[in-house]
Amino acid sequence: MPHYDELNGTYHNYTRITHVLIDDILTERVVHVGFGEIFYMTDKSYEKFSYQPFELIYRNFTINPDTLEESWAEIYEINWDYIEKSASFGPGISSAVRDKG
């Protein structure tokens, strides 16, 4: 689970994150973060988006001629009400949420 400060933009040069876009390239190949920073998304990294505070709001995919899914994209909305209503463990995240990873 991402940390509250990361989602909120605390100590970063961005404001509160409201949505996350994930596609097949991010999960199957590589994630470029910043200039020259490369990360690989693991199954565990992707799986965290199946739980609160993330909510899948849109999914699109392309089917190839063999009717197999070829490429896809998902948009997740961050449920800030869930985060802010959680029992406090540090700045706004419950210990149960924080311990998920």
Q: What are the pLDDT digits (tens) for 5-30?
A: 888 888 888 889 999 999 999 999 88
Biggest distance spanned by C-alpha atoms of the chain: 51
Would the pTM count as exceeding 0.85?
no
H-type alpha helices, the chain: 4-8, 24-28, 43-47, 80-85, 95-98
Domain that holds residue 66: 4-98
Q: With a cut of 50, say whether residue 101 has pLDDT above it.
A: no
Indicate the number of domains in the chain.
Answer: 1
pLDDT class of 94 with cuts at 50, 70, 90? very low
Q: What per-residue confidence (pLDDT) applies to 2?
A: 53
Greater confidence (56 vs 2) lies with 56
How much is the mean pLDDT over the chain?
Answer: 83
